[in-house]
Structure formats: C-alpha cells, structure tokens
A and B are shown apart, each in its own frame.
Chain A
Amino acid sequence: EPEVTQTPSHQVTQMGQEVILRCVPISNHLYFYWYRQILGQKVEFLVSFYNNEISEKSEIFDDQFSVERPDGSNFTLKIRSTKLEDSAMYFCASSVLGLAGHSEQFFGPGTRLTVL
C-alpha cells in the first residue's frame, strides 16, 4: 500500500541553524501539507501546497519557514534559523483532492526535530 515517507526520522540541531525536512508524498496525490505537533499538544497546520505554490498557510508559518517541491517526488520544509520553540514532531501529509473534494489526508511517520 502506498505511503508517505519522511526523512530523517530524528533531527537534532543547534539554535540558529537551518534544517530541511524531507517528504515523499504518495505518487498520484496532488495536495501536500506540513503539520507539526509539539509534545503533548495538538497537531497544528502549517502550510498546504498545490500546483507548485502555497495554497494556504497558518500564522505559525512565518518568514523562517519555506516549502519546495524540487522535483517530481520530494516535498521539503525548510526552517532557516531554528529556535528552541521549533522543537516538535513535523508531519508531512498528502491528499488526492484538496478544497474541492474534502478527501482524507495521508500522514507520514514524522520527523522529530530537537533544537538545542
């Protein structure tokens, strides 16, 4: 069964460093998302991406964050200058349909980011 994959599974970085989290969405999906979950808290939406552009972003997704689909399979989240409060589990998700179809989203296993 197709699944969303994410690498690395765990990333440790120093405050102020740049990190890139990588995701391979399910191949026939058109909509891609990043969410994060701080330990013990709810899953929070960061950004959605369709047709090579951001379709929606939350207040959390400020200028320190960026997303890219550098090729036909990968989808990345970059944090330019990490802060302690960026420590969280980051989930990538994808879906066949987006706004129009209201379909389910398939989540990857997550990347645990630890900022020291």
Chain B
Amino acid sequence: SQKIEQNSEALNIQEGKTATLTCNYTNYSPAYLQWYRQDPGRGPVFLLLIRENEKEKRKERLKVTFDTTLKQSLFHITASQPADSATYLCALGANSGYALNFGKGTSLLVTP
C-alpha cells in the first residue's frame, strides 16, 4: 500500500540553525510534492511545490529537494526562528488525480 512517512519525533533546534525535515514515500509515483505548514487547530498553509522533474526549489529561507530515485524529499528552513515552530506536512499528488495525500507531519520547535 502507499505510504508517506515523516519523522514522527519532534525536531527541536536552536534559533539560527538550519532545520531539515524528511519525507519518504513507498509504492507511489507522485507527479509533484508539496510542503505545508500547520499550526495547532488551524488549516494547512501552502509553502512550496516541486515537480517530479525538478531537483530543488527555493523560496526565501525555505528549500525543498525531491529525489524520485530515493523516493525522498528534504525540506530545509535556514536561519530558523521561533515563529517557524509548527507542524510541517508533506503531501503527494499523482498525475491522474486531484487528491493530496498527506504525511502525518513533523513537529518543529525552534527555541531562542
């Protein structure tokens, strides 16, 4: 069955450091991969989208990589700030569908 796995343990880092979150998937051939941020009790907020033919995408302090051979995406937040503390969700979509399939998310805590 299709699986999307994200670090289940919370990631605690110090302000100013780079946070790296991992998304691995199996039995899946996604056309694109998206990263969302979710704060407690709120809806997901879109951050970045990367397509299967792209290796890397950047937006301000955010960087996403997509390795379809390893079936993995890495999400980096550079110069992290306490305001970056949230749960980060990886979501995959297929060419033939409309649905986003989400991972369970990784909780990030950035301490001053």
Contact = CB atoms under 8 A, between A and B. Distances in A.
Interface of A: 4, 31, 33, 35, 41-45, 48, 50, 55-56, 58, 89, 91, 93, 98-99, 102-110, 112
Interface stretch (B10-18, B63-71, B102-110): B102-110
Contact of A104 (B38, B46, B51): B46
B101 A45 contact: yes
Contacts, number: 63
B83 interface: no
A43 B44 contact: yes
Nearest to A91: B43
Interface string B73-112: 0000000000000000101010111111111110000000
Nearest to A42: B104
Given A43-B89, A102-B51, A58 B44 contact: no
B108 to A, nearest CB: 17
B61 interface: no
Contacts of B96: 99
A106 B42 contact: no
B99 A104 contact: no
A109 to B, nearest CB: 5
Given A56-B97, A89-B41, 15 more contacts: A31-B98, A33-B99, A42-B105, A45-B100, A48-B98, A91-B44, A99-B95, A99-B96, A99-B98, A103-B49, A104-B34, A105-B100, A108-B43, A109-B42, A110-B42
A76 B46 CA distance: 22
Contacts of A104: 34, 46, 49
A108 B46 CA distance: 12
A7 to B, nearest CB: 14
B36 to A, nearest CB: 8
